[in-house]
Amino acid sequence: MTIDQPPALSLQPTLNGSTESGPHENEWYRRDFGNYKVREVPLHTKRPIRLIIVGAGATGLQIAYKLQRQMDNVSFEIFEKNADVGGTWLENRYPGCTCDIPSHSYQWSFWRNPNWSKYYSGAEEIWQYLKDFAVQNDLEKHVKFNHRVQQAKWVEEDSVWEVQVQTPTGETIVSRAEMLVSCHGPLNNWKYPDIPGIDKFQGKLMHSAQWDDAIDLTGKAVAVIGGGSSAVQIIPSIQPKVGKLFPFLRSPVWITAGFGAKYAAPGGVNFEYSEEQKKAFQDPAELEKYSRDVEGELNKRFTLMHLHSEDQKVSRAYVTQDMKNKLGDDARLTKHLIPEFALGCRRMTPGSNYLQSLRQSNVEVITDSAVELTTDGIVDSTGREIKVDVVICATGFNAAKPSYDIIGRNGRSLGEHWAEGAKGYMSFMADGFPNMFYFIGPNGPSSHGSLLPIVEWLTRYMFKVITHIQRTSIKNLAPKAEAIEDAWVHTHELLKRTAWSSSCSSWFKNGKKHGPVTAIWPGSRLHWFEALEEPRYEDFEIQYEGNRFSHFGNGYTFTELSEEANAVWYFDVLERELKAGKLAFDVVQD
């Protein structure tokens, strides 16, 4: 018998008959290895994963958009307490509500808007951008509106999150998923100030985050409690129409130009885009370049935030003089309103016409604390009662505590865990809370520029972790307590040298004057992006689903199961890495 050629071999499995065809010819293999059975799947087969997303604001919508385009074998649902999408931009509609981040930075990198009307956009326009994004991409079908999450509890024996949700009818339902993605946002859990008599006031009482559009302030006596960013926008917006305005400004704050002031109008103030500019932005290349230029400007602020830097010294002197000029060198106001603490200790607050409005004839700035509300007025710390028709509380949010109960391993509450000196991992994970991603948690880049690119980067990180779990035998993971402790030590040793750690009452320090900075990343914006380029799995406590190598499967790969696959793909990797030279194994190669 003549043989011309050996038989052709195939990458694909062509097994002839059963692998269980009687006793193995090698006596050593005539046994079982415990209860282990080989999974009859190729290497890195992605197992199904389910996500529960809390919140249909900007973050939740973006995650839903990308899940459908970048992830395999993943299902999800979104619970939203409101009747519409938009989160903070749906809820915050007070007069003058404007983002202090340039419009062309406060947008998704993949969904640029050529039609922004102003350099700094108002709340309604930003909400419309998010609404259009949701509608045009059919994202609302994934959202259960008017569903308020009350509790999320980790069930160890099943390795799932069990989430209790109140429906529009008041019924409580339970949903389960391997992953909990909390996107309720830091500007969600608003609070009234703890002032005696607040329940006795018979006039109109409202919080800036729950503005009543039906109220007409014309000719009324109005008090505004709070001196942060909301108050800085509300006061000049309502001043021209009210009869008398009493801003209760207990604490000083730096009033500065907005972020990205280089591209703003002279003085760093807002401006409207011309029709010619908006027409030019219809060219994708022009829009991309302008958006990148504006975004790049936001990455240049870290040196300014160093206590003893020249940037801090020069900028502080400039802002001090600018505030004096806008206050007309009023001795009382300049002494009280211009801070002694470092520029940036509290979030720097842009305020077009804010300081000028404080000098108007119908405005009386109260520098004493509001200590009590009566039926028709406010009592300050000197005992003086001021009669008012309306009290507006621009008193911020409880950013340190989740808006619902999150219960991790061993019954541990995340709210209690983070109540004092919150410690998190990479700004959105916590020890003892497996498979949980929290947008955004302790020591995140909260004062580093636009949050939307940051949210995209966190989503990318989360997708990497979830995909790794899918492709391996990992059942769940959570950051190690010792990793968080090491990160905490580094964080605060570095933050010593920054303005954020200066002595002032700030939500960066959970409302305290002296205490740890719990809201700020210890580095520049670019530092944060690079630090989260790739997950550090050595920092995780990992539990496996049985044998940690079961995902190796039946010995085949997806390459062998595809006729069009590249069977020598590793040559391409080696070639690419050799060309990259000494940058080949750096995390960032560009």
Average pLDDT estimate for 323-341: 95
| The pLDDT of residue 3 | 66
Average pLDDT estimate for 413-427: 89
Average pLDDT estimate for 161-181: 98
Average pLDDT estimate for 301-307: 94
Over residues 451-462, the pLDDT tens digits come to: 999 999 999 999
Please, which pLDDT band fits residue 268 given cuts at 50, 70 and 90?
confident
Please, which pLDDT band fits residue 351 given cuts at 50, 70 and 90?
confident
Over residues 431-471, the pLDDT tens digits come to: 999 999 999 999 999 888 899 999 999 999 999 999 999 99
Torsion (CA) 37, 39, 40, 44 in degrees, nearest 10: -160
| Among the ranges given (16-20, 82-86, 244-248), the one the predictor scored with the smallest mean pLDDT | 16-20
| The pLDDT of residue 6 | 78
Share of the chain above pLDDT 70, in %: 96
Average pLDDT estimate for 337-348: 93
- Residue type, position 112, single letter: R
> Three-class SS of residue 209?
helix
CA-to-CA dists, residue 268 to 95, 102, 117, 263, 360, angstroms: 21, 11, 17, 8, 23
What mean pLDDT value characterizes the chain? 93
Backbone angles phi, psi at 420, to 5 degrees: -125, 125
Over residues 43-60, the pLDDT tens digits come to: 999 999 999 999 999 999
On whether the CB atoms of residues 474 and 535 are closer than 8 A, the answer is no
What is the Cα–Cα distance from 220 to 206, expressed in whole angstroms? 15
Predicted structure pTM score: 0.94
- pLDDT over 90 (residue 398): no
| The pLDDT of residue 400 | 64
Q: Which of 114, 96, 5 is nearest to 357 (CA)?
A: 96
| The pLDDT of residue 108 | 98
Over residues 212-247, the pLDDT tens digits come to: 999 999 999 999 999 988 999 999 999 999 999 999
| The pLDDT of residue 507 | 86
Average pLDDT estimate for 307-332: 95
| The pLDDT of residue 484 | 97
| Among the ranges given (114-118, 389-393, 498-502, 509-513), the one the predictor scored with the smallest mean pLDDT | 509-513
- pLDDT over 50 (residue 17): no
Average pLDDT estimate for 563-569: 90
Cβ burial 467-505 (10 Å sphere, 16+ → b, else e): bebbebbbbbbbbbeebbeebbeebbeebeebbbbbebb
